[in-house]
Amino acid sequence: MAQQVRNTLIRTLRRPGFWLIIAVIALITIPYYAESLKHPAFVTRITTDLGLTREAAERVLYLVPIIWAGFLFEWRGAFYISLVALACMLPRAVAVTGHRAESLIETASVFVLGNVISISFDALRREREYRKQLEATQEDLKASEERYRSLFENAIDGIWIHDLEGNFVSFNRASEKIIGYSRDEIFKMNAKDFLSQESLDLAHQVRKKLLHNEPVEQPYEQRVFRKDGREIYIALSTSLVLDKGKPVGFQNIARDITEQKRMNENLHFYLQQATRAQEEERKRISHELHDETIQALVVLSRQLDALATSGSGLTEETRQRLEVLWQQTDVVLQGVRRLSQDLRPAAIDRLGLLPAIRRLAEEFSKYSGVEIKVAVYGKEHRLPEEVAIALFRIIQEALTNIRRHSGATRAAIIIVFHEHSTKITVSDNGKGFTLTEYVGDLAKQGKLGLTGMQERVQLVGGTMTVQSGPGKGTTIFIEAPG
């Protein structure tokens, strides 16, 4: 505080106006005490006409530097200069004049009046500055409102505001285009007039959460009806409108996603059909391998074994060659069986998903050397064929990734059956990798296996997330309906 006062004093002393005021006080004080110095004649006439004595007139002159200081240094400056003026006037009022009481009253009056006038001028100045600031603020608000109105009207997305009862308050041009009604028609309607019962229920849920300050996943999808009766889909973001801290309505930002949704649905249907056709082709090839190729290889293996062991008319060298051919045929037979199993495991059609996964894990451990544990929780139930095949392929791809890329020695498959969903976790203790923000971005890194897994689970209405990090292994979480 003392440092602040010192700094203020130094700044004041450096201002030329301060020294001019001191000079004026000096010019008033010198004749105040030196009566031999005569006032100019016109000054004497003015003071006489006003009924003032010379001493009283000189005291009144002290008001000039006090008020001047008020203009330059605000009321604090006037107060300090009035103290200086008081110090200049008091000695004569107390010790020199013959009318002490009257002189003291005049001196006090100059001190008080100077401060009152300075404070009044300071208040007027502050009031003028406040009004200027208020006018500038109003101009800024007006300009801001005009900018907001321009953004509101020219926004690409539809924006509208309705009160807590659903009556429209504001509606931009993009909203008119989306919904098909004119602005005059809109303001006579209610928000619920555009919604199906299902969409209205969702709107009530969002409204309730916003009013209770609960998180809402946005944007959310709504079905609405246009003026021409056509049903469209919009992606909607809703926020609460407050007035003095109280909710008064809702602001909605909407984008028509009807064409995008139809394209996605068509693409989804195409992928489903392509995946189904792919699985049917895998199944056909698997059956042909099992029924024809494998059986032919079995017959060939037995014939070679019979020739090698019969020994009739064969040299030892020929017998050894037949033995090698028989062993090679067995190796090819096992490879074709494994290929047939990978293409379409018979267990998944006969017994269901879980036995197929157990056999897959067992076979994978044999030829990869990775220890795999399978754990099952919940009440097992048979899944729809499409879901079961998708989950099996995802686990199959996950194990392939573990064998090819992870360098893991252990892996685990955890299956949790719920009443309406199935959750699967596949984890390993491998080297892991650096994750991108989105699983879809993994394709850019060449991790097509994970991208294919995500596409498969999405085709059956499920979700997939991945956790990984360098040296931390990889964990894949899958959830699918059924």
Residue closest to 409 by CA, chosen among 376, 378, 371, 460: 371
Write the pLDDT tens digit of every residue in 3-14: 766 766 677 667
The fold of the 155-256 domain, in CATH, is Beta-Lactamase (3.30.450)
User: Residue 232's pLDDT band (boundaries 50, 70, 90)?
Assistant: confident
How many Cα atoms are found within 13 Å in the side-chain-facing hemisphere of 351? 9
The pLDDT of 234-258, averaged and rounded, is: 86
Separation between Cα atoms, residue 62 and residue 107, nearest integer Å: 10
Q: Which helix (H) or strand (E) holds 95?
A: none
The pLDDT of 257-267, averaged and rounded, is: 75
Write the pLDDT tens digit of every residue in 41-64: 555 665 565 656 666 766 777 788
* pLDDT value at residue 97: 65
Do domains 155-256 and 347-482 share one topology? The answer is no
How many Cα atoms are found within 13 Å in the side-chain-facing hemisphere of 293? 18
Cβ 234 vs Cβ 178: under 8 Å = yes
More confident residue, 181 or 337: 181
Cβ 173 vs Cβ 165: under 8 Å = no
Residue 435 Ramachandran class (φ > 0 left, ψ -120 to 50 alpha, else beta): beta
In the chain, where are the structural domains located? 2-132, 155-256, 261-344, 347-482
* pLDDT value at residue 268: 61
Write the pLDDT tens digit of every residue in 424-481: 999 899 888 877 766 556 655 556 678 778 888 887 888 888 888 888 888 999 898 8
Q: Could you give the C-alpha distances from 348 to 8, 50, 233, 354, 382, in angstroms and in order?
A: 89, 120, 39, 8, 10
Is residue 119 pLDDT above 70, yes or no?
Answer: yes
Strand 158-163 versus strand 246-256 pairing type: antiparallel
Q: What is the CATH number of domain 347-482?
A: 3.30.565.10
* pLDDT value at residue 1: 59
User: Residue 142's pLDDT band (boundaries 50, 70, 90)?
Assistant: confident
Write the pLDDT tens digit of every residue in 174-193: 888 888 888 788 888 888 88
- Determine if the peptide bond prior to 219 is cis (ω within 30°): yes
Cβ 43 vs Cβ 61: under 8 Å = no
Locate 306 and state its tokens. Answer: 């019979």
* pLDDT value at residue 218: 83
The mean pLDDT value of the chain amounts to 79
* pLDDT value at residue 477: 92
More confident residue, 441 or 87: 87
* pLDDT value at residue 81: 79
Separation between Cα atoms, residue 15 and residue 19, nearest integer Å: 7
More confident residue, 431 or 262: 431
* pLDDT value at residue 54: 67
The pLDDT of 311-339, averaged and rounded, is: 77
The pLDDT of 155-169, averaged and rounded, is: 85
* pLDDT value at residue 333: 79
Cβ 329 vs Cβ 293: under 8 Å = no
Q: Structure pTM? A: 0.46
